[in-house]
Amino acid sequence: MIYHHLFDKLRKKDTVTAAIIGAGHYGTAIVTQQNYVERLSVPIIADTNPESAKNAFLKAGIAQEKLIYASASGAVIDALSAGKYVYTDNAMLIMDIPQVDVVVEATGVPEAGAAYCRAAIENGKHIAAVSKEMCSCVGPVLRRLALEKGLVYSPVDGDQPALLMQMVEWARLTGLTVISAGKARDAEFVLDEKKRTVCVKADGITVHEDAVAEIPQSSMKYFEMIPPGAGAAREYVDRRMEALRDLPLAGDFDLCELTLIANATGLHPDIPETSRAPLRITELPVAYCCAKNNGIYKDEGVVDVHTNLRRADESGMGGGVYMVVRCENAYSHYILTTKGQIPNHDSSTAVIYRPYHLCGVETSTTLLCQGLLGMDTGTRDYRPLYDFVKIAARDIAEGETLGNDHDVRMRAIMVPATRRGPENPLPAHLITGNTTRTPIRKGETITYSMIHEPAGSVLWDLRAKQEEMFA
């Protein structure tokens, strides 16, 4: 594999030392995998709950006597020199530790993440950006600020945005035309034709309760494979969406990740709310292409999300990523559609997919590329082309404090990026944790004039710098 050759021949040091901020699901997986990765050490974890940070080390099999709590940088430096592992609730002290090469920002809290990333850059640390919430607002400016300092700001392998960025760049490098690309949400719809039901299991992250939809006999034909013909894909998608309207579809957090992908690849949403269609893997090249191929899109180069539809005895997508592609040369296209890839009905498109994303477990490739090579595992360019913004899902009163992508008072769409202005849409995670200055009616897009700007916000300050930098 090429990584081994790159690390052997081009590495600038022998070991990468990473520090984790945020001991959640993702950060813990990076910590627990470190014992099996050559040249990687993760000896520091910071979390607002220090017990969570400590437990991540214990899950990694680190002996209790090797763990030390520290709240000052001097104590951390001494502990690392003694071969200890440090957990703390003071993330900012990481910036003063000379041994740390890479800061992994995995808080999921946009304001805190922005402050940590800015401090890391100012102190000469590479950034592995896990928090999509922060990155959707200010990722391009943080990447540019890091580059100006000779550092790397990168999305992480193991999460869908970086994996899809790599897939799209590989396709373009090999000369494929990317018709559409996107992600499968983690939850899947399982079809039981005998019972005429579709169910989704709770996963504790994106779906919190098991749910079942009973399908009327008159609608069962629409859960068969989408047939060939103009308009068939649109009809089948619409009828499935209607039959499954009581099941949870893709969430706002999915669109947040699509925004990162759009800004890194130049792909665009077909409609602001995205399609979010329930589709079999075999139906992706049938439905997620443009009208000339009997698909549902107006044009090509689309980014989207879907829920994998399958029977219990069929393989799923595992929250993976996909591309619908074609080759422009007839002979090359023949190879594409006959050597293992799944084509549409007339073989004018094919889907290439990766049916997994190993959150945290495979992030070592990003950390090693950053620390050993000073290289990004995301994309060659990252520009604020699209914003992820919110619409009121119900009437919201003046003075309400709004939340993150799980706040049911709002729903998300993707729109072309705009500059700050009273009536312009406010990027979604500039809203998080802030209060409304006016009543907002159901259906209204939330704008700058509707939200109180927090005093001294690093996130809002970086967003202003981004708009100037990319003007």
Query: What domains sit in the chain, N to C, each tagged with a CATH number?
Result: 2-158+360-373 (3.40.50.720), 163-354 (no CATH), 386-469 (3.90.1210.10)
Distances (CA, A) of 440 to 397, 420, 426, 433: 6, 19, 13, 16
Residue in 326, 276, 281, 283 with CA at minimum distance from that of residue 303: 276
Nearest to 429 by CA among 112, 26, 40: 112
As a whole number of angstroms, the distance between CA 313 and CA 118 comes to 48
- Tokens 């070991």 correspond to what residue? 15
Phi-psi region of 15 (alpha: psi -120 to 50; beta: other; left: phi over 0): beta
Instruction: Walk along the chain (471 residues) and give the pLDDT tens digit of each residue.
Output: 689 899 999 999 999 999 999 999 999 999 999 999 999 999 999 999 999 999 999 999 999 999 999 999 999 999 999 999 999 999 999 999 999 999 999 999 999 999 999 999 999 999 999 999 999 999 999 999 999 999 999 999 999 999 999 999 999 999 999 999 999 999 999 999 999 999 999 887 778 899 999 999 999 999 999 999 999 999 999 999 999 999 998 889 999 999 999 999 999 999 999 999 999 999 999 999 999 999 999 999 999 999 999 999 999 999 999 999 999 999 999 999 999 899 999 999 999 999 999 999 999 999 999 999 999 998 889 999 999 999 999 999 999 999 999 999 999 999 999 999 999 999 999 999 999 999 999 999 999 999 999 999 999 999 999 999 998
Q: Where are the alpha helices (DSSP H) in 34-71?
A: 50-59
Task: Say how far residue 193 (Cα) sits from the centre of its chain.
Answer: 33
